[in-house]
Amino acid sequence: MPHTAARTPWKLAARTARMNASAIREILKLAELPGTLSLAGGLPSAATFPVEAVREATARVLRDSPREALQYAASEGFAPLRDWVATQMAGQGVDADAANVLITTGSQQGLDLVAKVLIDAGSSVAVESPTYLGALQAFVAYEPRFVAVECDDGGPLPEALGDVAGARFLYALANFQNPSGRSIDGARRAALARAAAAAGVPIVEDNPYGELWYDAPPPPPIASHWREGTVYLGSFSKVLAPGLRLGYVIAPPALFARLVHAKQAADLHTPVFNQRVVHEIVRDGFLDAHVPTIRARYRAQRDAMAAALAAHLPTSGPFACRWRTPAGGMFFWVELPQDVDSEALLAKALERGVAFVPGAPFFAGTPRRNTMRLSFVTLDPASIERGVAAIAAALGELRDEVVAPRAAAAGGRR
Amino acid sequence: MPHTAARTPWKLAARTARMNASAIREILKLAELPGTLSLAGGLPSAATFPVEAVREATARVLRDSPREALQYAASEGFAPLRDWVATQMAGQGVDADAANVLITTGSQQGLDLVAKVLIDAGSSVAVESPTYLGALQAFVAYEPRFVAVECDDGGPLPEALGDVAGARFLYALANFQNPSGRSIDGARRAALARAAAAAGVPIVEDNPYGELWYDAPPPPPIASHWREGTVYLGSFSKVLAPGLRLGYVIAPPALFARLVHAKQAADLHTPVFNQRVVHEIVRDGFLDAHVPTIRARYRAQRDAMAAALAAHLPTSGPFACRWRTPAGGMFFWVELPQDVDSEALLAKALERGVAFVPGAPFFAGTPRRNTMRLSFVTLDPASIERGVAAIAAALGELRDEVVAPRAAAAGGRR
């Protein structure tokens, strides 16, 4: 009886069988062990948090509008913050009205609300492969069937959209995707929007990392090419601080009221105290000066990881690894030699005091086990060099102990 | 094609057909019109918000642990706050361990998570009648069938629990229920726990108002009688401030991990900044002095409403109204004469500048349309007197214009 907890009166919903603890969560616990150098985290660097700005904004909110900041508030969100988001989006080429902006408790909640409103049990949802694990977790609670859209190094293939016709939506990260770090260029975005419209597959575009560009600003969102067919999700977690849990959803009118109903049922509204504090911080252009400081920090760390990978990992021969330097975001995605399981590599790396995230959990379908995700945002360049060197050494050890003998044995059987 | 939005690519989930805007939400908009005296709200009085304590706690958190308060955090919640909740519960006779405490984004989120983990489409959920509308909204997204458990003025009837066997749970508010104001006494709580255990129907016990008692503290929760068969929901909204959105769920081990999975998928975690601020406020016993000031304020307003109702509404004769003075909470529940529809009464009352909430939306099944909910917490005693007098006048007008002639006509046809 898989859905009845033993000797208790509780009968669990069928969906719980698919709602498991994130494998990454367990790895992150290992990564937090004292003395472990972690390339595993998905956290921004706490050194980027604008503590003084939060302090001042909090004091002003509690001085000027304490009762409003502590009372129940509108499910849609704090109106001036919705206005601010709409204005920002206009700057990115997305014609949004504040009336289409829903403030959410982090963009993770946006994923949950979108799924609640669009997914029926057994309906299909198209995803990139790999894709953001947290989205799979949000969606799976509504019991969809995942279908992977065919992708290349530039993102989903427009000509493959017809293959996922009937999907309730395509979930896509256009900028510096978690976990792969890849971006979709401007021409591909336009082509995807056209192909999706032709196939009748709307798009859920998630953009937590768009502001974290290190070479050039990204092109306008997919949403700018197909406003009525795209739901766009944004977040303050990477440009301000995730502990405030503030994100937003921009949805076309056909969906907006439904999302508000779902929001009301989910938590009535996002803490209005947090919304007012964040609005107080961002209203006068604070991010224009702050975000470049985050970019400068992360860019140097990205460059350090690029150099360390080039110095330590083999890129040719039978044991070659493959990666590309991401143009933004938080992660390198490394393809290990075909017969290396990154979970085995993790075990070896942990022995050397270094943690990372194996790639398998990021695949909705058949995982590519020879992949791993390395975060460069929380460690200084010297630690990044040390961490990558240790992973390379662990890889060498794995090759000598496990993979090479196995290859020899396989050769012997032929 | 009811679930396809016209001329858009979006296909809505079937559940959205049942997820409507709350009728109360619309009424609250009317109630906010300038010059309207509102007995409609479910908001606590902003005069009770401890602004100075929030100010000091916020400053301390941002001084002592700014990075931790602004970073991602554990889905289960901030450990010291979980400890504090567990200790509070022990004081109420519920043997809870911090390991069983999940911090939620308001107790509304607790309702959503419990529903996500326990309700399958088509499964049945037992509710009181009337019951809290927000719970119905949270549950309905998971497509249950609602069954009303038979109730009397003392709450659900233990002997009726067998009639709802097979329900995934019974949702019950034991203290000063919203909307009816009624409480379940200690003997009935114990009997309900026994009957529910015998029927195999677990209980979701929601307690947002328990601290708002005006005559005597309530007896121990139902959860104290059946720990492994009860999920208990609590909230900081009524004792501190709702704008911080902090609640908690106490769940037996059989459910706890499932709720954490659902929490992680829903919003990763509740804003840790808010959790740390609230812990900083409550840790040294602040509520022991603060909550009595809320009680004193609301008690006086409750007494004013009791006096106004007694002075203005008929309690005998063919047009008698019926109500009981609640021992706590925020609401009076008035049963109007059988043939008075409270929505018609609301229209008349609004003409006199007074708003309240008709009772119909609080019923999962057939509504009793001759009911209304009156809040006494946001208005001073003089305004309460004025509001009740206006409703009584509107009722008199309705009787003269509509009900009496109709009765006469009906009599004429006999």
Chain B residue numbers with beta carbons less than 8 Å from the beta carbon of A46 are 67-68, 70-71
Which region among A113-127, A206-220, A235-249, A396-410 has the lowest average model confidence (pLDDT)? A396-410
**Cβ of A95 under 8 Å from any chain B Cβ?**
no
Position A2 scores a pLDDT of 38
Residue (of B268, B371, B333, B193) closest to A137 by Cα position: B268
Q: In terms of CA atoms, which chain B residue is nearest residue A112?
A: B266
Structure tokens at B153: 């003025």
B267 → closest Cβ in A55, A67, A105: A105
Position A29 scores a pLDDT of 77
**Cβ of A202 under 8 Å from any chain B Cβ?**
yes
Which region among A33-42, A289-298, B15-24 has the lowest average model confidence (pLDDT)? B15-24
CB contact under 8 A, A117 and B16: yes
Q: In terms of CA atoms, which chain A residue is nearest residue B48?
A: A67
CB contact under 8 A, A268 and B106: yes
**Cβ of A20 under 8 Å from any chain B Cβ?**
yes
- Assembly ipTM: 0.94
> What's the burial of B121, exposed, middle or buried (CB within 10 Å: 0-12/13-18/19+)?
middle
Answer whether residue B230 shows pLDDT above 50: yes
Q: In terms of CA atoms, which chain B residue is nearest residue A196?
A: B9
Which region among A410-414, B212-216, B300-304 has the lowest average model confidence (pLDDT)? A410-414
Percent of chain B at pLDDT above 90?
A: 88
Q: In terms of CA atoms, which chain B residue is nearest residue A134?
A: B265
- What is the distance between the alpha carbons of residues A148 and A125, in angstroms, rounded to a whole number? 8
- Show Cβ contacts of residue B378 under 8 Å, excluding neighbours closer than 6 positions: B38, B41, B43, B44, B45, B46
pLDDT digit string, tens, across residues A223-234: 999 999 999 999
* pLDDT band (50, 70, 90) for residue A254: confident
B244 → closest Cβ in A10, A265, A273: A273
Query: Three-state SS for A103?
Result: strand
Query: Three-state SS for A128?
Result: coil
* pLDDT band (50, 70, 90) for residue A6: very low
Mean pLDDT for A239-253 is 97
CB contact under 8 A, B13 and A55: no
Residue recorded with tokens 């808010």: B274
B13 → closest Cβ in A11, A105, A117: A117
CB contact under 8 A, B267 and A9: no
More confident of the two residues B148 and A414:
B148
**How high does pLDDT run on average in chain B?**
94
More confident of the two residues A254 and A280:
A280
Q: In terms of CA atoms, which chain A residue is nearest residue B43?
A: A72
Query: In angstroms, what separates the C-alpha of B369 from chain A's closest C-alpha?
Result: 24
Chain B residue numbers with beta carbons less than 8 Å from the beta carbon of A140 are 265
- What is the distance between the alpha carbons of residues A126 and A161, in angstroms, rounded to a whole number? 9
Mean pLDDT for B25-33 is 76
At B347, give phi and psi (nearest 5°): -60, -45
* pLDDT band (50, 70, 90) for residue A403: low
Structure tokens at A77: 């969100």
Question: What is the sign, positive or negative, of the torsion defined by CA atoms of A33, A34, A38, A43?
Answer: positive
**Cβ of B348 under 8 Å from any chain A Cβ?**
no
**How high does pLDDT run on average in chain A?**
94
> What's the burial of B220, exposed, middle or buried (CB within 10 Å: 0-12/13-18/19+)?
middle
pLDDT digit string, tens, across residues A302-354: 999 999 999 999 999 888 999 999 999 999 999 999 999 999 999 999 999 99
- What is the distance between the alpha carbons of residues B92 and B98, in angstroms, rounded to a whole number? 15
Chain B residue numbers with beta carbons less than 8 Å from the beta carbon of A200 are 9
- Show Cβ contacts of residue B87 under 8 Å, excluding neighbours closer than 6 positions: none
Which region among A158-167, B13-22, B65-74, B117-126 has the lowest average model confidence (pLDDT)? B13-22
Mean pLDDT for A230-242 is 97
Position A3 scores a pLDDT of 42
* Residue B179 preceded by cis peptide, ω within 30: yes
B271 → closest Cβ in A121, A123, A244: A244
Mean pLDDT for A87-102 is 94
Query: Three-state SS for A156?
Result: strand
Query: In angstroms, what separates the C-alpha of B53 from chain A's closest C-alpha?
Result: 11
Answer whether residue A95 shows pLDDT above 90: no
**Cβ of B79 under 8 Å from any chain A Cβ?**
no
Range among B12-21, B178-187, B360-369 with highest mean pLDDT value: B178-187
More confident of the two residues B181 and B42:
B181
**Cβ of A9 under 8 Å from any chain B Cβ?**
yes
Give the count of Cβ contacts less than 8 A between chain A and B. 268
Cβ-count burial A259-287 (b if 16+ within 10 Å, e if not):
bbbbbbbbbbbbbbbbbbbbbbbbeeebb
pLDDT digit string, tens, across residues B145-154: 999 999 999 9
* pLDDT band (50, 70, 90) for residue B10: very high
Query: In angstroms, what separates the C-alpha of A353 from chain B's closest C-alpha?
Result: 23
DSSP states of B304-371: HHHHHHHHHS--SSTT--EE---SBSSEEEEEPPTT--HHHHHHHHHHTTEE-EESGGG-SSS--TTE
Residue (of B112, B122, B330) closest to B212 by Cα position: B330
**Cβ of A241 under 8 Å from any chain B Cβ?**
yes
Answer whether residue B7 shows pLDDT above 70: no
Mean pLDDT for A184-196 is 98
Output the pTM of the full model.
0.95
A342 in Cβ contact with A398 (< 8 Å): no
Answer whether residue B3 shows pLDDT above 80: no
